[in-house]
Amino acid sequence: AGDSSTAVAAANTTAINTAITTYGTTGASLVLPRGDIYLEQAAGGVAWSILFGNGIAGIDLGGQGPNETRLIQNGVGDGGDWHAILFDRCTNCGIHDLHLEQGIIQVPDQIQLNHLLNITNSSLDGTGTTEDIYGYNLSFGKCLGDQIRLFGDTAPIQNIRLDNLTMRGDGICIQSWAANTVYPLGSWVINDSGKNYKCTTAGTSAGSGGPTGTGTGITDGTAVWDYKVPREGARTCISVQRGYRNVD
């Protein structure tokens, strides 16, 4: 806890996923310590940090309370979906006594699909079951997506119960512009009195100033930026979409 470096965030992510897969059918309760626990995107170009995946059953992940254990999704991103916690084709699983939020997503999804909690069924052939999923004593902070998303997709999710939630979606998940910094293609920054800019040519920023105005093709050192309409808060607190039944 308390270390936001890329290496530690990646190690945290690997360790939690290893625990879930190792004890995923034993009925275990996995308990995290107090503090800010930073999470990177899991290795392999996947769309999540923590996964309760196919075949996982009867296990939960908890903390010391939503004011004590904070999971913070933080890192570069790949310009696509990236969810802090994903439930997908698991049964009788849950999370509790945690806070979830995003720190900075440097290259976020272009249509704000960086969700904090995503309960779905991604099976392309309509098989598999995501059911009996629960969460309680949870709080949610800023994110570039939905704080909670329920999305059955090709097969339904069912028997979902979420209780005692605090939703506070305000805040900014995009970094402030910095001088002499390498920016990957697709990066977002805030500069010029709160304006949002997207990097259209990767490069290193200038020694001072940064992008300004509301135009496109703004040169900044070797980086180039376009102004974009602000996208500073949660897309939705709770998004209940298709393919679901018995949601409380």
Q: What is the pLDDT of residue 234?
A: 61
Cα 218 from Cα 204, distance rounded (Å): 13
Average pLDDT over residues 165-186: 88
Q: Does position 148 have pLDDT exceeding 80, yes or no? A: yes
Residue type, 18: T
Judged against a pLDDT cut of 80, whether residue 235 lies above it is answered with no
What global pTM score does this model have? 0.88
At residue 247, the pLDDT reads 94
* Percentage of the chain modeled with pLDDT above 70: 96
Which residue, chain included where needed, has tokens 């040519």?
Answer: 201
189-208 per-position pLDDT tens digit: 999 998 989 999 999 999 99
- Phi-psi group of 70: left, alpha or beta (phi > 0 → left; psi -120 to 50 → alpha; rest → beta): beta
From the list 187, 194, 193, the residue with the least C-alpha distance to 224 is 187
Nearest to 128, CA basis, from 161, 159, 91: 91
pLDDT band at 236 (very low <50, low <70, confident <90, very high): confident
> How many Cβ atoms from other residues are within 10 Å of residue 29's Cβ?
12
Instruction: Identify whether the C-beta of residue 197 lies closer than 8 Å to the C-beta of residue 227.
Output: yes
The half-sphere exposure of 36 on its side-chain side, counting CA atoms within 13 A, is 11
pLDDT at 153 over 60: yes
Cα-based angle 181, 185, 190 (whole degrees, multiple of 5): 60
- What's the whole-number mean pLDDT along residues 73-96? 94
Q: Identify the band that residue 126 occupies on the pLDDT scale cut at 50, 70 and 90.
A: low
Token look-up 């049964």 returns: 91
pLDDT classification of 241: cutoffs 50, 70, 90: confident
